[in-house]
Chains A and B, each alone.
Chain A
């Protein structure tokens, strides 16, 4: 029984939160890695792109709620998601036309594009804060729990409860569908194949008649889909605040670098590696350990390796490890 309790506590506090956070990071990192693969720069505006998409979703959610439209028990935000994606795609395409294209035609150094993307970051950040403000917004509605801790306890008679939030289930399902669709698209469609070819060898791809403008446009649209989904899932699961979304840049970059910038498979793996490392290192293990060790050995301290404030330090340490020992990441080929 004690062992089961430990297992349930582990699932409840480590595995499930880690998986859901990992899925959010993975989708975010997929966007970063795609942009890197096709456009060849690290997009510092990414966190704020996510914030923009989420903001549109939130505004539409509020509007739908005021009209009384709902798809309960699913959150209304899912209904608003496609419109959020459309708005974000429009924003990204306009940004590309107005800002990035000029430097692409010039064949500017990647670092110039990084600085330009920092400028775009400012604008998007300012835009989001102007429209929705800098404060925290909560927009989750619909069923809160699939299984609540109390129900689980009465059902199984265990001392530990297992709660599955509705948002967790939605995160996992949506993430799975998104990733499957993206990989299918990259592997099997003509456009997807031309994107991979373009990412592998630009000159060769151009020689074989691939239209670079089209590839770039499709990339931005996919990026908009990924940014809005990742942002909305994160916001449903936790909450929305522009500054937090800017800070998400670090774990997302870490995930993309761990997997190897430019590698979609790597981005997914990286997302889960970063998320689980964060959760494992900042979780207070006392709750699990008390069930498996004899009472006399029960620890006094919380058995927490790092304070939760230091979750950025975890992403950063992983990033540093990868840069030190395998600068091309796990699945990367280019330096």
Chain B
């Protein structure tokens, strides 16, 4: 019953925004809120079910976004087929792919070698030798191919391009990318102290974003990748405004076609995201109430006794870590295909790691509905403070003389939300550690 009231309260906030500001603003906040709720569900799987604290959520989101570029970015056949000094495989594009595969093979070989050889100096030497030789071999194949690709029309392309497939296909691929990264990180860090996972995921996220910012051949780096297609079944506003049926509809109801088209698109986004959210919650609720869910909670609450009962704690942690990251990665792909462009600078840890954390904790760790509530509520707060912060600064500086202090206050107003979020997190952790909707 309390849950219903809480959701009703959040719905009221959105309605209020719609009435006071505009329905466009309210709906665009709702779209982001729904998307964040799905991300929060993924994080809740890791933290709420298994007690794994990852600080690299933003890395999974970014990897999911990268998948959209690969799957549905416009192909650049000229760059992919580029030839140049040192391109000896079919073409520069194939050579890049080959070198990346080679790098993965070398790492796999090193892992096998480590397992196969007896401990000792010979093993250390062999592995170091393999990795160093492998690194130089990889760079020798990779570097010339990259220069060839990046030399092609760097102002608009300079990248190998994507496959040009529908955007919807990129969503599962994004999940797959994030899952692969989670597998590697989990293999290394799980089973050690809890802090280590937090520290290592902080690092991997930083690296994923650095790679996306600096590898121009991949997604054009900081030059941003634009022109990603919208996912099915989303229409473009411009098309709507020219379709006779839509114009008729607007004329009948007395809407302005421009406003109506933007609102319709946002409504469809809401519907698509809500559908995915619904399916996911249904799956998760079933999983949580299954023997597997009970086992996960048992492991979370007491690892030692769960291990004594014969449960493979490390393996179960790895599975849930991968599944959670996959959900997060999918939302990254959804986000980027909604924006229609990949802007690596946008993936800030504050927005995509810690904000999501606050959603999960405020909503109620371990409770799926809690994550959804947290996503919608905190998402709303975040975006409203975004608008209200500067307005507030405006208000208090209105009577001031123009000067350094006034400009300073206006400049720093957006930073208010960091402070607000931090205080909110600490207050919830202290006074309502179970969150708004506690785990049953």
Using a CB–CB distance below 8 Å, which chain A residues touch chain B? Answer: 36, 41-42, 44, 99, 102, 109-112, 114-116, 118-127, 129-131, 133-134, 247, 249-250, 253-254, 257, 261, 301, 305, 307, 309-310, 312-313, 315-316, 319-320, 323-324, 327, 335
**A110 in contact with B195 given A129-B418, A130-B416, A324-B188 (CB within 8 Å):** yes
Taking a contact as CB atoms under 8 Å apart, the answer to whether A122 and B418 are in contact is yes
The 4 nearest A-B residue pairs measured at CB: A122-B422, A126-B419, A126-B418, A123-B422
Using a CB–CB distance below 8 Å, which chain B residues touch chain A? Answer: 51, 53, 55, 135, 143, 188-189, 192-196, 198-200, 202-204, 206-207, 210, 213-214, 350, 354, 357, 361, 408, 411-412, 415-423, 425-426, 429-430
Q: Which residues of A contact B189 (CB under 8 A)?
A: 323
- Measured CA separation A305–B140 after assembly (Å): 11
| A interface: dominant SS | helix
Taking a contact as CB atoms under 8 Å apart, the answer to whether B204 and A316 are in contact is yes
Partner among A120, A131, A319 whose Cβ is within 8 Å of the Cβ of B200 = A319
Q: Which residues of A contact B361 (CB under 8 A)?
A: 115
Chain A: minimal CB distance from B208 (Å): 10
Chain A: minimal CB distance from B49 (Å): 14
Chain B: minimal CB distance from A156 (Å): 35
**A121 in contact with B422 given A102-B430, A111-B194, A129-B415 (CB within 8 Å):** yes
Taking a contact as CB atoms under 8 Å apart, the answer to whether B202 and A250 are in contact is yes
Partner among A99, A102, A120, A319 whose Cβ is within 8 Å of the Cβ of B199 = A319
Chain A residue nearest in CB terms to B361: A115
Taking a contact as CB atoms under 8 Å apart, the answer to whether A130 and B412 are in contact is yes
**A323 in contact with B207 given A114-B53, A310-B214 (CB within 8 Å):** no
- Measured CA separation A307–B350 after assembly (Å): 25
Taking a contact as CB atoms under 8 Å apart, the answer to whether A327 and B192 are in contact is yes
Taking a contact as CB atoms under 8 Å apart, the answer to whether A120 and B412 are in contact is no
Q: Which residues of B contact A102 (CB under 8 A)?
A: 430
| A and B contact pairs by CB, cutoff 8 A, 10 listed | A42-B195, A111-B51, A121-B422, A122-B350, A122-B421, A123-B419, A125-B418, A310-B210, A313-B210, A316-B203
Taking a contact as CB atoms under 8 Å apart, the answer to whether B206 and A253 are in contact is no
Taking a contact as CB atoms under 8 Å apart, the answer to whether B426 and A99 are in contact is yes
- Measured CA separation A215–B169 after assembly (Å): 57
**A250 in contact with B192 given A115-B357, A115-B429, A130-B416 (CB within 8 Å):** no
Q: Which residues of A contact B207 (CB under 8 A)?
A: 310, 312-313, 316
Taking a contact as CB atoms under 8 Å apart, the answer to whether A316 and B357 are in contact is no
Taking a contact as CB atoms under 8 Å apart, the answer to whether B415 and A130 are in contact is yes
Chain A: minimal CB distance from B223 (Å): 14
- Measured CA separation A292–B194 after assembly (Å): 48
- Measured CA separation A316–B213 after assembly (Å): 17
Taking a contact as CB atoms under 8 Å apart, the answer to whether B210 and A312 are in contact is yes
Chain A: minimal CB distance from B356 (Å): 12
4 further A-B contacts with Cβ under 8 Å, apart from A41-B195, A111-B51, are A125-B422, A126-B420, A250-B203, A305-B135
Taking a contact as CB atoms under 8 Å apart, the answer to whether B53 and A111 are in contact is yes
